[in-house]
A and B are shown apart, each in its own frame.
Chain A
Amino acid sequence: MAGTWIVVEQRDGNIRKVSYEMISEAKKIGDEVVAVVFGKGVEGQAAEYAKYGADKVCVVEDDVFANYNTGAFVAQMVAMIKEYSPNAVLFAHTFNGRDFASRLAQKLEQGLATDAIAIQLSAGKGIFTRSIYAGKALAKVEVTGSPVLATVRPGVCEVVPGAAAGAVFKPAIAATAADVYQTVKSFVPTVSARPELTEAAVVVSGGRGCKGPDGIKIVEQLADLLGAALGGSRASIDSGWLGHELQVGQTGKVVNPNLYVACGISGAIQHLAGMSSSKYIAAVNTDTEAPIFNVSDFGVVGDLFKVVPMLVDNLKK
């Protein structure tokens, strides 16, 4: 069997959106799409992947796969590649996906394109577009190998519903608990009713112009009305108004939402690096010269403490 394998990601049964994005994208390429799900008690998810175009679902179920661990996952993947010879294996560019893909690539002594924003695949070869220098340049890289390996940036591929057969198959389990060489002591999910930054369709961010927690509250009201993720500039994170995981930019998260709203953010080059590829950008800033306006589709020169609450009222109408 050849085909394009998509290593989907789930935690405690919650499937990450990027999994569907990758399946839909792979479906466009035309080869058979196989969703590969590792876990325990995950067979029931197969129908979900089929909804977005997975022709087959490879269910890798065992106690040792309950949570991601490098040794067992890589050992199992190596065995499956040997058995089924996929043409390409794509991972999500996430905390676990990066680890999995980089380890596997090194084990196979192959190249790997990480954080791809566009994918072209042919037999034994992939051309991937990568955003380098924090989005200031684009590189197309050629990766060869069997399989071709890459990680895909969340939020760049469109989710396209389309039914496929989704036949389930279960490979032989080769990995064992002896392969595990790190111990996850705890995983504490960030408690938030809001979507995650890298998955959200709308991101509303606050910067130094928020002046403190009260200003951030105003920005949060807008975020919640739009069902948006909350983000911030380094200034608001360094001031302690927001947690570091919410920083957008070169040394924070790169986001690709449909709409990005920058409130009280000047638009430093390191901030732009994290959000300038958003489809629409709006900004509210008192300084008409603020660089954020150079990349904004809709800019309001004004005081966020006045404009944002009024915007909330208007949107509610």
Chain B
Amino acid sequence: MKVLVCVKQTFDTEAKIEIKDGKIADAGINLIINPYDEVAVEGGIQLKEKGVATEVVVLAAGSDKAMDAIRTALAMGADRGILVKQDTAADEFARAVVLAAAIKAENPDLVLAGHVAADDGSSQVPTRIAEILGLPHINVITSIEIAGGKATCSSEADGGTQVTEVSMPAVISSQVSWNEPRYPSMKGIMQAKKKPVATVDAVAADSKVKIVDLSLPAAKQAGIKIDDDPDVAAAKLSEWMLNTVKVEIKK
């Protein structure tokens, strides 16, 4: 069984965001694999270690910089990579079209992805890929079981846990609590350098959504701070909750 994992390169979650010339400034920002995609890579590698998968291919659409994200996934244990060169400003539609075309050419049995990207937070691309390829999709998964051409996953749904079964091939998107991604070992990093990565051009796809304005949210101002005996502080906090916030007390 061939597993393909979609990895998006994103800003480090610690990154400070600044706007320059009407764009999010990326100078000096540390780039990482989207945390959810790192979990998906780990999930793919574990399927291979269990003997369920035979090959784990990682796929990223983006600039040349995204090669680092691919190499990191290879160092974790993925077998080979594909970088589709695409403007990082492409919207969800354009990215899904481009990724779906690359996936179709690989014809995997299972496509893994993250359920959301930490930068644009849009949660659309895997679902769109599934629609383009006419495949089922299970989202926000915390476990996976593969048997008899079917995948069965637990998902973190609103207000509960859902168990969903689909026929493969399928697209499946991760929640971070699925697993704990491994750190690449020294040996893994050395081996990754020799693993094949194909660079391909993106198929034509125009963005549909236009960003018309970017801004930074108003910085939240710190308010009252009490450093006093606990009973005094608790009384003041209680007063603030009742009179300013106007909380309701359940007796």
B110 in the interface (beta carbon within 8 A): no
The reply to whether B214 and A303 form a contact with Cβ atoms under 8 Å apart is no
Q: Which residues of A contact B81 (CB under 8 A)?
A: none
A127-B247 Cα distance, complex, nearest whole Å:
34
A245 at interface by CB-CB < 8 Å: yes
Inter-chain contacts of A131 with B (CB < 8 A): 121, 217
Assembled-state Cα–Cα distance A141/B131 (Å): 23
Select from chain A the residue with minimum beta-carbon distance to B217.
A138
Query: Please, what's the 1-or-0 string for A231-267, where 1 marks a CB less than 8 Å from any CB in chain B?
Result: 0000000000000110000110000001100000000
A131 to B122, CA, bound (A): 10
Residue in A107, A276, A277, A288 whose beta carbon sits within 8 Å of that of B227 in the complex: A288
In the assembled complex, B155 has its CB within 8 A of some CB on chain A:
yes
Which one of A23-31, A167-175, A309-317 is at the B interface? A309-317
Interface of B is mostly: mixed
**A16 in the interface (beta carbon within 8 A):** yes
Q: Which of A96, A135, A183, A224 contacts B217 (CB 8 A)?
A: A135
B190 on the interface (CB 8 Å rule)? no
For the complex, what is the distance from the CA of A198 to the CA of B159, rounded to whole Å?
Answer: 10
Stretch touching chain B among A33-41, A47-55, A211-219, A293-301: A293-301
A-chain residues with CB within 8 Å of residue B93 when the two chains form the complex: 105-106, 109-112
Any A CB within 8 A of the CB of B1: no
Mask of B134-148 contacts with A, CB within 8 angstroms, 1/0: 001111101000000
Task: Answer whether residue B149 sits at the interface, using C-beta atoms and an 8 A cutoff.
Answer: no
List of A residues within 8 angstroms of B175 by Cβ = 244
Collect the chain B residues with CB atoms within 8 Å of residue A1's CB.
none
* CB pair A258 B224 closer than 8 Å: no
Q: Interface digits, A144-163 against B, CB 8 Å rule (1 contact, 0 not)? A: 11000000000000000000
Our pick among B96, B166, B223 for the contact of A183 (Cβ within 8 Å) is B166
Asked if B191 is at the interface (CB within 8 A of a chain A CB), the reply is no
As a 0/1 sequence over residues 195 to 235 of chain B, the CB contacts with chain A under 8 angstroms (1 = contact) are 00000000000011111111111001011111110110111
What's the Cα separation between A112 and B122 when bound, in Å? 9
Q: Is A56 an interface residue, CB under 8 A from the partner?
A: no
Residues of chain A lying within 8 A (CB to CB) of residue B123: 93, 98, 102, 114-115
Q: Are B238 and A270 in contact (CB under 8 A)?
A: no
| Residue on A nearest B139 in the bound complex, by CB | A99
CA distance A267 to B197 in the complex (A): 40
- Taking CB atoms, residues of chain B closer than 8 Å to A196 are 158-159
Complex: how many Å from CA A291 to CA B238? Answer: 22
Contacting pair B216 A137 (CB below 8 A): yes
Given contacts A133-B119, A227-B248, A269 and B225 within 8 Å (CB-CB): no
Q: How many residues of B contact A (CB 8 A)?
A: 87
Given the complex of chains A and B, what is the CA–CA distance between A190 and B159 in angstroms? 6
Closest to B100 in A: A106
Cβ proximity bits B54-96 to A, threshold 8 Å, 1 near / 0 not: 0000000000000000000000000000000000000111001
Per-residue 0/1 for A81-110: is the Cβ within 8 Å of any B Cβ (1 yes, 0 no)?
000000000000111101100110111011
Question: Which residues of B are found within 8 Å of A102, using beta-carbon distances?
Answer: 92, 123-124, 127-128, 131
Q: Would you call B245 and A142 a contact (CB within 8 A)?
A: no
Interface contact A282-B127, CB-CB below 8 Å: no
Query: Are B212 and A141 closer than 8 Å at their CB atoms?
Result: yes
In the complex, are the beta carbons of A182 and B138 less than 8 A apart?
Answer: yes
What are 22 contact pairs spanning A and B, CB under 8 A?
A: A16-B158, A106-B96, A111-B207, A133-B121, A136-B216, A187-B157, A226-B250, A244-B142, A244-B156, A259-B247, A269-B14, A277-B217, A288-B225, A295-B222, A296-B225, A297-B223, A298-B226, A306-B234, A307-B234, A311-B237, A314-B237, A316-B249
| In the A-B complex, the 6 residue pairs with the closest CB atoms | A111-B208, A310-B234, A314-B238, A102-B127, A297-B223, A244-B177
Interface residues of B (CB under 8 A from A): 11, 13-17, 19, 24, 35-36, 91-93, 96, 118-124, 127-128, 130-132, 136-140, 142, 152, 155-167, 175-177, 207-217, 220, 222-228, 230-231, 233-242, 244-245, 247-251
Q: Which residues of A line the B interface, CB within 8 A?
A: 11, 16, 70, 93-96, 98-99, 102-103, 105-107, 109-115, 127, 130-145, 181-190, 196, 198, 202, 224-227, 244-245, 250-251, 258-259, 269-270, 273, 276-277, 280-282, 284, 288, 293-303, 306-308, 310-311, 313-316
